[in-house]
Amino acid sequence: MTNSLLLFTFSPVQSFITEARRAADLYTGSQILVELAKAAAESIGKEHLIYPALDENGNLPSDIPNKLVAQVPFEECETIAENTRQSLLKRWRELTDESRATYLQKTNLPFAEDIWQRQTADDYLWEAYWSAAQLDGRDYKEAYKEAEAGLVAAKFTRTFPQYEEPGFKDTLSGKRQALRSKEKDGRQYWYAVGNIKAITPIQIRPSVGESEETGRPRERLDVMGVVKRFHPKLSEKAVPPFSGFPSTSSIASLDYLEKVRAHLADYRAALASLFGSRETLMRVRKNDPDFPYDGDFLYMETLTKKRLVEDYRIEEPNITANLEKAKQELRKIAGTPSPYYAIIVLDGDSMGEHLRTLDEQGHRDFSKNLYRFSKDVLAQVGNRGRVVYNGGDDVLALAPLAYALPLAADLAHAFYEKTGRTASAGIAISHHLSPLGSALEAARRAEHIAKSIKDKNAVCVFALKRSGDPIQVISKWDALQKDEEKAGLFGKFVSEFQCEYLSSKLPYDLFQSAYAIPKAEAMLEAELGRLVNRHLQSEERKKKAIELSAELFNWATSLPETASLNGSQHLAQWLALARFVAKGGEA
């Protein structure tokens, strides 16, 4: 038989993951994709795979991408590809059936069968594509380029049926019909679901209003939403120390919790009294004796009657008796958590171009290198955040504000060490109560901007502040690592603002100077010397003025100019971001 190179992929991927209103939706969506990719890989046969590489025991890695590369007999390509597609769809049907059973058991509210059958049809959501090129007697690189071109063509030529989606739409995607019963429309049906006390607020946010006629549901789900929220294993998969994937509030307060952990006993007791009979349902951290609750309860703004009733279904008698005590105990704890967290999107640079230069052994070796990086990601992240998706050359993670940029830099460095290739990152900093979709969109946009820089190997950060103008900065990674301290150049200036060695007004004064001195040239160097000397907060620190202003000038010369930012303005934006991080997101 003639050997061939088979490329198989499926979609949607990004849109499926990002149809989310909470971090747990992101994580479960990514886990669903992994399940489908594993089913596809197992159907092709592990022994045939070139990418992804198997682990040390010859098994598929825990997270695998949606694109597979394999060497199979050319005469069997079509059969193998169709069997792979069927295996993927079979696994999807299993996931939907398992989710359906759990949902009905928890709600006891049947829905109209026609909606479920339409949205679980084989040709409704998942699109599978494949391409093959003969290998025997040909250069591997040539065959790979041919197969890749065929895959691109297949994506443009394959057509799928369009389904009409009438009625109330789901709240995760906003474009598909939400489930409903024959007796109730979408609004009435999900109002009833939102009033079921046995369902945790993590699964469905409680409905608002006193009656079905005047009230409203805050969430409505289609089939995809039910799978994300109710699959008995994937939606409740532990992400230690959490019983599921942590909320954005838990992520934002992750570093603060570790600082105050030893001082939470009285507040923890006050919360237990406040929660009353729902106390067990409020526990989201497994075996955490210090603070088993969501990070949301480390914020004073959560401790209002409205939030506790509407978001957590706490009984009003408990609130009346115990709310003030909980507030008093929270006030006693030193400091406050930052209300901001970050979404990090890291992706290998020019992966497609690189793969087209490899022979078969080179491709296999590179796959192993990607596996080594992927295996190391959780250790790199550690307690600085949580990983949503880890598919080889791309990572999606959430982290507290203070850890975001150092963590992204460490991941990019680890990627280079393991693969010899650079990686760029997009980071979106967002308030923990702001819509998740906006932050995800900003992170992807930031990644795209980072990859548009010449030679890539860059990072772009968007800080979506709740008040004031957003901050946007771009830099090559090596420009941020110019000093020898582990924190890097950015970390150094974060510390300067944190310790209040530098005045918080420095970024704003530099913005004013940038109108007269837009370019990173000699005049700017002199102006930086004047400004730094003026904004250093102690006479002892003024000895560092020349050193700090020189570092800032060198930094300015390394920053890329954009259509909206010149060298001076760009440096001012970086300093504004350093101040923002140093102050925990305070205005």
433 — pLDDT class (breaks 50, 70, 90): very high
Region label for 427, one of left (φ > 0), alpha (ψ between -120 and 50) or beta (otherwise): beta
User: Domain spans of the chain?
Assistant: 1-235, 254-332, 338-481, 487-587
What's the pLDDT score for residue 485?
Answer: 46
* pLDDT (tens digit per residue) in 9-52: 999 998 899 899 999 999 999 999 999 999 999 999 999 999 99
Query: The sheet that has 340-348: what strands, in order across it?
Result: 386-390, 394-400, 340-348, 423-431, 458-464, 471-476
Third-level CATH fold of 338-481: Alpha-Beta Plaits (3.30.70)
Query: What secondary structure letter does DSSP report for 200?
Result: -
Alpha carbons 257 and 260: distance in angstroms, whole number: 5
The secondary structure of 537-553 as a DSSP string is SSTTGGGGHHHHHHHHH
Output the average pLDDT for the chain.
Answer: 91
544 — pLDDT class (breaks 50, 70, 90): confident
* pLDDT (tens digit per residue) in 170-211: 999 999 999 999 999 999 999 999 999 888 888 899 998 888
Torsion of CA 72, 78, 82, 84, to 10 degrees: 10
Establish whether domains 1-235 and 338-481 are of one fold.
Answer: yes
Mean pLDDT for 371-388 is 93
Torsion of CA 241, 245, 250, 256, to 10 degrees: 40
Query: The sheet that has 127-134: what strands, in order across it?
Result: 49-51, 67-73, 3-11, 127-134
* pLDDT (tens digit per residue) in 280-295: 889 999 889 999 999 9
Torsion of CA 530, 535, 540, 545, to 10 degrees: -40
What's the pLDDT score for residue 522?
Answer: 79
Which two tokens mark 24?
């747990």
480 — pLDDT class (breaks 50, 70, 90): confident
Third-level CATH fold of 1-235: Alpha-Beta Plaits (3.30.70)
Mean pLDDT for 364-380 is 94
Q: Can you state the angle between helices 522-535 and 545-558, rounded to 10 degrees?
A: 140
Sign of CA dihedral 392, 393, 397, 401: positive
* pLDDT (tens digit per residue) in 309-320: 989 989 899 999
503 — pLDDT class (breaks 50, 70, 90): confident
Alpha carbons 394 and 100: distance in angstroms, whole number: 31
Q: Is the distance from CB of 31 to CB of 157 less than 8 angstroms?
A: no
Q: Which residues of 411-429 are buried (b: 16+ CB within 10 A; e: fewer)?
A: bbebbbebbebbbbbbbbb
